[in-house]
Amino acid sequence: MAEVFLPKGMRDLLPAQMIPRLAVIDTVRGVFRRFGFEPLETPAMERIETLMGKYGDEGDKLIFRVLKRGEGGERGEVDQALRYDLTVPLARVVAMNPALPMPFRRYQIQPVWRADRPQKGRFREFTQCDVDICGSESPLCEAECLAVASAALTELGFRDFTIRLNDRRILAAMAAAIGAPDRLMSMVTAIDKLDKIGEDGVRKELAQHGFAEDAADSLFAMLNGGHIPGIEAEDAGLDVIISHAQALGVPAGRVVKDRMLARGLDYYTGPVYEIVVTEPKIGSIAGGGRYDELIGMFSGRSVPAVGVSLGLERIFVVMEELGMLGAAASATEVFVTRFAESTLTETLQAAAALRAAGVATSLSLEGGKLGKQLKQADKLGARWALVVGPDEAKQGLVQLKDLRGGGQESLSLAEAIARVQQAR
């Protein structure tokens, strides 16, 4: 019954979910920082004109619009929207701050919203983990993006994944070769659905956009390895990116050129890439590419940029299905019981000392029978319980109970803290 109060496509994340989730985010953030990326946050809402026209017709339809206040809202007028991704807000930030040192390397881990149809691994509110480099045309930027994404996934425990690599200019050459240079994005949007609707579905969508049957035949011949006029330079550029990525630590064979890769967003201008896992079949868990014209839409000055985004929700789905998360660790290491009112001060001081030493400590607030308090500690998943009785208080000792191993020791508070820290 309670589900009716939760918006469709959104979730509550309880402690058992949040603890491993935060651990994954900490791991990803640590890798981003090791690669020299700096943190950035942007507002949940952007001006509607900031977002519209950046993602293509299908993307624009998925933007959550926010009504104006007052009479404008009553008339259905819109002036703001929840951010659709983290890339367009970054472009706005760079345009508004021309004094930023270039190249500007930033990471951002925040939620985004899309009015999409919820399904496995796809929600209306979800978190993206992005890194981007603004201000450089060097192919080293793409290589850095592939390397940091590969390193983050590897550190999370992923082993069997592939980085698909293509270039929008190759797709543009295909569109020109079939006589449709003005319909590039219609072609790209259709190809981007290949994994979902298959070749027949793509052909039907192409036909709906005015592509003749022989044009579709020629297109699929090129997608399947046939000659494409005028792509030699771009194709060689992909080889350079792969070579640089391998030098940066990406295993040989992990990055593969794939003409079928399209990436449906309008703002991509050069190399594009996606990361896919073999199992489960969930689509990409990360993706990105070069978008050299997006920042200029806000600033009027050309600023090249490239980035990659890791989809936290899909990563979690894969990790859960493959048993990569393990048992959720408790946020509490030590549960401090309340033995008696006469030792309450010593009990509180013990809790304070544990916390000061960096030990996650939960304090019994209600007290009561010791057995009941120990059950509460067990429910919290605490490894240890600490008891300060009258005898211990007089001697300057505490009782430290190992709730997993079953042992119990009388120790000084300093010794108890050291024992907990050593057992981590």
How do residues 276-306 score in pLDDT, each as one tens digit? 998 887 889 999 999 999 999 999 899 999 9
For residue 277, what are the β-bridge partners?
A: 161
pLDDT reported for residue 374: 95
Residue with tokens 């035949």: 217
CB burial of 23-61 (b: ≥16 within 10 Å; e: otherwise) equals: ebeeebbebbeebebeebeeeebbebebbbebbbeebee
pLDDT at residue 256 above 60?
Answer: yes
pLDDT single digits (tens) 151-174: 999 999 999 999 999 999 999 999
Residue 1 pLDDT > 90: no
Are the C-beta atoms of residues 314 and 283 closer than 8 Å to each other?
yes
| Mean pLDDT rounded to a whole number for the chain | 93
Per residue in 45-104, pLDDT (tens digit) is: 999 999 999 998 889 999 999 999 888 888 988 999 999 999 999 999 999 999 999 999
Same-fold call for 11-321 versus 334-422: no
Q: Where are the beta strands (DSSP E) in 9-103?
A: 38-39, 45-47, 65-67, 78-82
How open is the CA angle 377-330-153, to the nearest 5 degrees?
170
CATH topology for the 11-321 domain: BirA Bifunctional Protein; domain 2 (3.30.930)
* pLDDT, tens digit (0-9, with 9 covering 90-100), for 208-255: 999 999 999 999 999 998 999 877 766 779 999 999 999 999 999 999
Which of 311, 331, 372, 315 is CA-nearest to residue 116? 311
In percent, the amount of the chain with pLDDT more than 70 equals 98
pLDDT (tens digit per residue) in 23-59 = 999 999 999 999 999 999 999 999 999 999 999 888 9
Report how far residue 54's alpha carbon sits from residue 88's, in angstroms, rounded to the nearest whole number: 8
User: In Å, what is the CA distance from 55 to each residue of 107, 185, 225, 324, 355?
Assistant: 21, 11, 28, 34, 48
DSSP β-ladder status, 271-277 and 284-290: antiparallel
CATH class of 334-422: alpha beta
**Which sequence spans correspond to the domains of the chain?**
11-321, 334-422
Which pLDDT belongs to residue 272?
A: 97
Please report the sign of the dihedral spanned by the C-alpha atoms of residue 406, residue 411, residue 416, residue 418: negative
For residue 120, the model assigns a pLDDT of 75
The pTM score is: 0.89
Query: Which whole number is the average pLDDT over 106-126?
Result: 91
Q: How far apart are CA 321 and CA 316, in angstroms?
A: 8
